[in-house]
Structure 1
Amino acid sequence: MSDVPVDAVRAVVRLSRLFERSLDGLSLAQYRVLAQIAAGDERASRIARRLALGKPAVSATVESLRQRGLLVRGGLDEDRRVTPLSLTPQGRSVLDAAERVMTEALGEVLAHTPDADAAGTVLLQLGDALEEILSERARWQDR
Structure 2
Amino acid sequence: MINDDTETFDEVGSDADVGEVLLALGGRLTRLQTEILAGLDQSLTIRQYRILSRVGSGHTSLTALCKLAHRNPSTMSESVDKMVTRGFLIRGTSDTSRRTMRLALTPLGVEARDAARRALEKFAAELTAGLPAEMRSPLLPALRRIYFDTQGHLDDR
TM-score, normalised relative to structure 2: 0.71
* Preserved CA contact (<8 Å) 1:72 1:85: yes
Aligned partner letter, 1:125: R
Q: Distance in 2 between matches of 1:62 and 1:5?
A: 34
Amino-acid identity (%): 25
Quote the offset at 1:89 in angstroms.
1.0
1:129 counterpart residue number: 148
2:4 counterpart residue number: none
TM-score, normalised relative to structure 1: 0.77
89 and 56 in structure 1: CA distance in 2 versus 1, 3 angstrom threshold: same
Q: Distance in 1 between matches of 2:87 and 2:81?
A: 10
CA deviations 1:58-89 (Å, max 9, x no partner) are 1011011101111100139885xx20001011
2:69 to 51, 55, 61: 51
Aligned partner letter, 1:21: E
Q: Distance in 1 between matches of 2:111 and 2:139?
A: 25
Higher relative contact order (CA 8 A, sep 6+): 1
Quote the offset at 1:118 in angstroms.
3.5
Superposition pairs of residues 35-114 of structure 1, within 5 angstroms: 35-75=53-93, 82-114=100-132
2:23 counterpart residue number: 9
Gaps of at least 5 residues in structure 2 are 1-16
Aligned partner letter, 2:22: A
SS in 2 for 1:73: strand
RMSD: 3.1
Structure whose residues are more often helix by fraction: 1
111 and 64 in structure 1: CA distance in 2 versus 1, 3 angstrom threshold: same
* Preserved CA contact (<8 Å) 1:75 1:83: yes
SS in 2 for 1:40: coil
Quote the offset at 1:109 in angstroms.
0.8
Gaps of at least 5 residues in structure 1 are none
Quote the offset at 1:132 in angstroms.
6.3
91 and 83 in structure 1: CA distance in 2 versus 1, 3 angstrom threshold: same
Aligned partner letter, 2:19: P
2:14 counterpart residue number: none
126 and 92 in structure 1: CA distance in 2 versus 1, 3 angstrom threshold: farther
Q: Distance in 2 between matches of 1:83 and 1:68?
A: 18
SS in 2 for 1:129: helix
CA deviations 1:21-72 (Å, max 9, x no partner) are 1013100011111111011101012101111112111101101110111110
